[in-house]
Structure 1
Amino acid sequence: MLILLSLASAVACCLVFAWWLPSDGERYQDYRAAESCSSGELSRSDTDCLSTWHLTVEKTVNRTAGKESVHDATLTYRDSWRGTVHFNGSGPLLERLRPGDRVTATAWRGEIMVLTEDGVRQDTLEAPRDELQMNAAVGVLAGLVAAQCLVFGTVRLARPQAHEPLTWEPYGRRLLFSVIGVCFAVGLSAVWARVPWWTVPLVAVPLAMGAALWFRVRLRPRR
């Protein structure tokens, strides 16, 4: 079971670094490089440029209850279009909007990226973000989980009756939660510090290895 889990985690790690992270990075760069649509591009329905639309707010939902958060705005364009855009928070614009307000929407590739009203703007959840550090953190976490499961599984196969201390309690559990904490702490710190995504594995992997060694020393029987 642990060997299979290791293989699944290794595949997830490869997918993150080979597909998800490059795809998000390319999408962000394309969005940053996009220019306003010309009249010809609009007539051809070209979605790789930035188009501007003047929409009307029909209603907003701005609710946070426990773990559930809903931050939406339902918009209309004349009588021909009605849609809902989603945000990751209430501010700075969503909390100001009221039914009937007129807003300016910036669209790209068929999705609304930004809403603006009276100089106040807010990105929607569809807007690409330069946060590849968190993609890298997820990939590193998957790789470290794969390594842990492989080591624990191999030891269990080689020594079915004597695989101490590589057991779930207490070493495996402590190590897993430490790895999760390290990866996300490093990823969030990298986002905040605006450092390149490749610094995440350079920092997280040695820290995780240090945690593994520290727990191993702490749990070693004293003579």
Structure 2
Amino acid sequence: MGGVTGADGTRPGRARTIVSVVAGAVCLMVAAFLLAVVQPRSEAEVTDFRAARACPAGERGEDCLRSGQATVEDKRAERRKKSTRYYLTLREGSAPEADVRLDDDDPVYGSVGPGDRVTVVRWRGEIRYVATAAGARQRTHAHPEINSSVAGAVGLGLLPFGSGLLALAWATPRWAARTRVRHPWQAGLLGAWMVLAAPVWFLAGIMVPEVFGSRWTAAAVGALASVPVVALLLPLVLRYRDRPEGIKVKPKFLRGTGTKTFPGIVLGDVPYAAVDAPYSGNVRRLVVGRGVLEATCAPPVGAETRQELPGDLTVQRVRPPYRDDPRQVADAYDVVECRDGAGRQVLIAAARKHVPFIVGVLAPDAVRR
């Protein structure tokens, strides 16, 4: 992997490749642990609970369902951003009070209050059900069937991430051998597949075991459900496959005599270019207006300086950042390649949404690519 040389004669970032390999391996190892260790334990617990029977009179075994009486001391609902948790504070005989979280607000939580008597059902030391004298019964959050598929679903959701990161680590140097672009479009599409496929696999891990009772069936369903994701991204592959590196830009203009200021930087062997170190703390901005393009620098201490760019700059093209661009060119920037009257190359870098205003000043009559 490290022996592949980029189209610009440099090797792509080894650090990013290592990070992708490590992150992908961690995702796959966590997925393997969840699927091979944690989820089988949850499934075994559900099976044991479903097979459990009521404890014989006088027996206090852990693997049978043991019923007892409790008094409701208090009840409360804790509201979170996207959910609400419901608790009953119960006292069994002379035992200390204990908070029991219910799975919903119905039917037990809404029908009892302080002083009411309820029946609690324990299994393996924890309260799994709460029932009222009227016969209403509600599961507690400790019920084995609640969230029993979450571990497996998370494990399945991590599979696209882990495999995608390893694929990215393997493919990025090979993409770099064909282009100087810092982040090839193929990497973006692979990232989009990871982001779209992971929820599909997660939902399959949640829903399928409820019907078929198998995490491996869920994995197969997740794989099949990923096919539409690939089909969704296929038009983008066909669109970008033979697309030139240049970016099509339609000039934009400000109304009236106002100006617009935004982050950006000017680079090149010219007196008005940025000369400070990449991380010196200086804030670089561009100012555009009707026929005006200026570069500013605001140091951490001292007054802001402002430099007007000459009127002889000619836009050559707009492109994404290259790996051999100066480090001041942020990954989120696009680069406007220019030549001045002396033939010197000048790079103007800014966010994509601001580039049309730069082109509007330098090349108002052109749609640049």
TM-score (norm 1): 0.85
Tell me, in whole angstroms, the C-alpha distance in 1 between the residues paired with 2:55 and 2:231. 56
Say if 1:133 and 1:190, in contact at 8 Å, map to a contact too: no
Superposition deviation, residue 151 in structure 1: 0.4
The equivalences for 1:126-137 within 5 A come to 126-129=142-145, 133-137=149-153
Tell me, in whole angstroms, the C-alpha distance in 1 between the residues paired with 2:103 and 2:56. 31
2:73 corresponds to which of 18, 41, 58: 58
Superposition deviation, residue 65 in structure 1: 4.7
Call closer, same or farther: CA 1:133–1:51 in 2, change over 3 Å.
closer
2:213 matches 1:196: yes
Give the structure 2 partner of residue 11 of structure 1: 29
Look at both structures and tell me which one has the larger radius of gyration over its CA atoms: 2
Superposition deviation, residue 164 in structure 1: 2.8
Structure 2 portions without partners, runs of 5+: 1-18, 243-369
Say if 1:6 and 1:149, in contact at 8 Å, map to a contact too: yes
Superposition deviation, residue 36 in structure 1: 1.9
Q: Which moved more, 1:127-136 or 1:90-99?
A: 127-136
Structure 1 portions without partners, runs of 5+: none
SS for the counterpart of 1:119 is coil
Call closer, same or farther: CA 1:78–1:185 in 2, change over 3 Å.
closer
Say if 1:115 and 1:122, in contact at 8 Å, map to a contact too: yes
Tell me, in whole angstroms, the C-alpha distance in 1 between the residues paired with 2:106 and 2:156. 32
SS for the counterpart of 1:146 is helix
2:236 corresponds to which of 203, 218, 222: 218
1:138 corresponds to which of 126, 138, 154: 154
2:74 matches 1:74: no
Report Cα offsets for 1:153-212 as digits up to 9, x if no partner: 112244546473332x4x2442122113312343444266x2233321111113225423
The structure whose RCO (Cα within 8 Å, separation 6+) is larger is 1
The equivalences for 1:55-204 within 5 A come to 55-117=70-132, 118-129=134-145, 133-160=149-176, 162=179, 164-167=184-187, 169=188, 171-190=189-208, 194-197=211-214, 198-204=216-222
TM-score (norm 2): 0.54
Equivalenced residue count is 217
2:223 corresponds to which of 201, 205, 223: 205
Superposition deviation, residue 10 in structure 1: 0.7
Call closer, same or farther: CA 1:147–1:222 in 2, change over 3 Å.
closer
Tell me, in whole angstroms, the C-alpha distance in 2 between the residues paired with 1:124 and 1:166. 47
Tell me, in whole angstroms, the C-alpha distance in 2 between the residues paired with 1:95 and 1:191. 30
Q: Judging by fraction of residues, say which structure has more helix.
A: 1
Tell me, in whole angstroms, the C-alpha distance in 2 between the residues paired with 1:38 and 1:72. 30
Call closer, same or farther: CA 1:89–1:191 in 2, change over 3 Å.
farther
SS for the counterpart of 1:219 is helix
Superposition deviation, residue 218 in structure 1: 1.9
Tell me, in whole angstroms, the C-alpha distance in 1 between the residues paired with 2:50 and 2:26. 34
Identical-pair percentage: 22
Superposition deviation, residue 146 in structure 1: 1.0
